[in-house]
Amino acid sequence: MKSTNLNKTMAALALALMTLTSATAFAQSSAPANTSEANAKDWKKNIKVTLSVDYYGQAVNDLGTMAQPDIASGARDMTSPSYFEPALIAGYKVGETTIGGAAALDYRPTLLDFKSQKAVTWLDPQLRATNGNIYTKGNFSLGTQMRVYLGVTEGSIKKNMLTNLRWYQFYSLEVPGSRWSVSAVTYLRQYIYGDSAVAGTPRKTFEFYAGPQVNYQVTQNTRLWLLFEYTGTQFNSTSFFSLRRPDDADRGPGTDAEFGATWDINSKLSLTPYIDVKTADRVALDTTTINANLTYRPL
């Protein structure tokens, strides 16, 4: 069984590499000759490296513990400690498209009473192709990203998950003559499994996300924003419209509102603290958490 999973995973990896390689070749052939020559001379400038660290914290009224709250009741969930999610993202820019990959993990410094969980859990690595500006008209711009996740971690192998594909769309609209802008992120995510099923285990087969956002540019390097998130998940290949909440298939889609600020400390480093208000069940302080992101771009 493990050999079969490995072969299928390697086949998915080969297909993903062929797809990204074809995209690279197409981008190179489509670029003007002088652009290709400039890129060849300045290839180091086309290398993109980002280190991103997300922190998912405790409830705002329960700062003395490292436990996250239960989404429904607001009580301390001693099986869900606050955690960090560092990710290393690297790529090479060809024309307007950056092709590369990412590796990420969950680090839980406090395991609380969930003793069966490891302090460090590796997440499935990704292959990425990103074009942040495929269409522009006036103050409107559209970007996209395709991710191919490789099911090589212990958790994915247990579920017989070979790969999953996530297709992003990024929208941005500047309000002329003001500090306001409107943006949004949407994605479609398809999960692909092997033939054998794990008895009694629900399979996440499809996911849809939408996140509209309002932004206000306070200063040149500081921005306030308000984000609303909707996440619907399909289990066990039910009908397309049977989208459930990711953490509980018996409830409706997951929603939340986030209030935050992004501070560009310098051209390479940015900090984004924010408050996450859970809105799917009820709005309350005991389910509202403190989160943050730190992003560093050495290249």
Burial class (CB in 10 A: 0-12, 13-18, 19+), 146: buried
Residue written as token pair 């406090």: 110
pLDDT of residue 31: 41
Average pLDDT over residues 2-13: 43
pLDDT digits (tens, 9 = 90+) for 149-197: 999 998 898 888 999 999 999 999 999 999 999 999 999 999 999 876 6
Which token pair is 31?
């670029």
- The terminus-to-terminus CA distance of the chain in angstroms comes to 42
pLDDT of residue 119: 85
Average pLDDT over residues 49-77: 90
Name, of 13-17, 151-155, 262-266, the range with top average pLDDT.
262-266
Q: How long, in residues, is the chain? A: 299
Residue written as token pair 């479609």: 188
Task: State which residues form the domain around 281.
Answer: 2-296
**Share of residues in the chain with pLDDT > 70 (%):** 76
Q: Are strands 120-122 and 289-296 parallel, antiparallel or unpaired?
A: unpaired
pLDDT digits (tens, 9 = 90+) for 195-247: 766 656 678 888 999 999 999 999 999 999 999 999 988 877 766 555 655 55
Phi-psi region of 74 (alpha: psi -120 to 50; beta: other; left: phi over 0): left
Q: CATH number for the domain including 225? A: 2.40.160.40
Q: Is the pLDDT of residue 289 over 90?
A: yes
pLDDT digits (tens, 9 = 90+) for 83-142: 999 999 999 999 999 999 999 999 988 766 666 667 899 999 999 999 999 999 999 999
Mean pLDDT of the chain: 83
pLDDT band at 21 (very low <50, low <70, confident <90, very high): very low
Cα-only R_g, the chain? 21
Domain count, the chain: 1
Which token pair is 62?
């329960």
Longest CA pairwise span in the chain (Å):
61
Average pLDDT over residues 257-262: 97
Q: Which amino acid is at 5?
A: N
Full-model pTM: 0.81
In 3-state terms, the chain is what percent helix, strand and coil (to 5)? 15, 55, 30
Of 23 and 95, the one with more pLDDT = 95
